[in-house]
Amino acid sequence: MKKIYFLLFVVILCVQQTDAQFLKDAKKLLNAKGKGLTEKDAADGIREALVNGTGESVKVVSVLNGYWGNAEIKIPFPPEAQEMESKLRTIGMGKKVDEFNESMNRAAEKAATEAKPIFVTAIKEMTVRDAINIVKGENNAATVYLKNTTSPQLIGKFQPVIKTSLDNVNATKYWNDLITIYNKMPLVKKMNPNLSEYVTQKAIDGLFIMIAKEELKIRKDPMARTSDLLKRVFGS
């Protein structure tokens, strides 16, 4: 069976039309060639795929080593403090630096569970038009949609949890200790970057990297389509 997003993509390329006409033609095409699928089926399929993909992504990053053990999304030392990291290592503070770096990632892992309900709400509020645009879009269209619609809420939810987590895993203490030692060194520029803002943004960036991978898997891998609806929408 031809993938539904390909059929819709052909419609868009070939026909200039209004939104209402687009949906009407999409429904005809789906009914004619998609074994009775409607635009609602396509929208429901996208919603299901997104709930599955975001749920899996949250589960992957919110466990022990979800960030710390994944080189692709592991949160590094703050870029503006890399000179500080280097100087601290040269004076034998490497262990403290490593403890701090690990603690940032532990904080991100603890905060990641807050993301799931935010994603579910955004997915439920998705319109049919949004869903069909995602079906016919690029391989990361759903990820981009979620990033655009959930980032402010994610920041609002993540940051207080990150701050608490940073305190609980001693990252704040490690950071303050390192900053104090560094700022006492001669001929260095004093610094104190906002740690919670940095870790929050890196945690969210890493989560969307994982969501994009899940989206691509559902689009490309038949084995990732775990329900009859997903198989009907994306092909079996």
Distance CA 78, CA 142 (A): 29
DSSP track, 43-63: HHHHHHHHHHHHHHHHHHHSS
Predicted pLDDT at 229: 63
CA distances from 156 to 114, 125, 140 (A): 10, 19, 24
Predicted pLDDT at 97: 83
Predicted pLDDT at 207: 95
Does the pTM exceed 0.75?
no
Residues of the chain with pLDDT under 50: 1-35
CA distances from 82 to 26, 76, 78, 88, 101 (A): 52, 9, 6, 10, 12
Question: What does the pLDDT look like over 48-96, one tens digit per residue?
Answer: 888 888 999 999 999 999 999 999 999 998 877 777 788 788 888 888 8
Tokens of 230: 């997903």
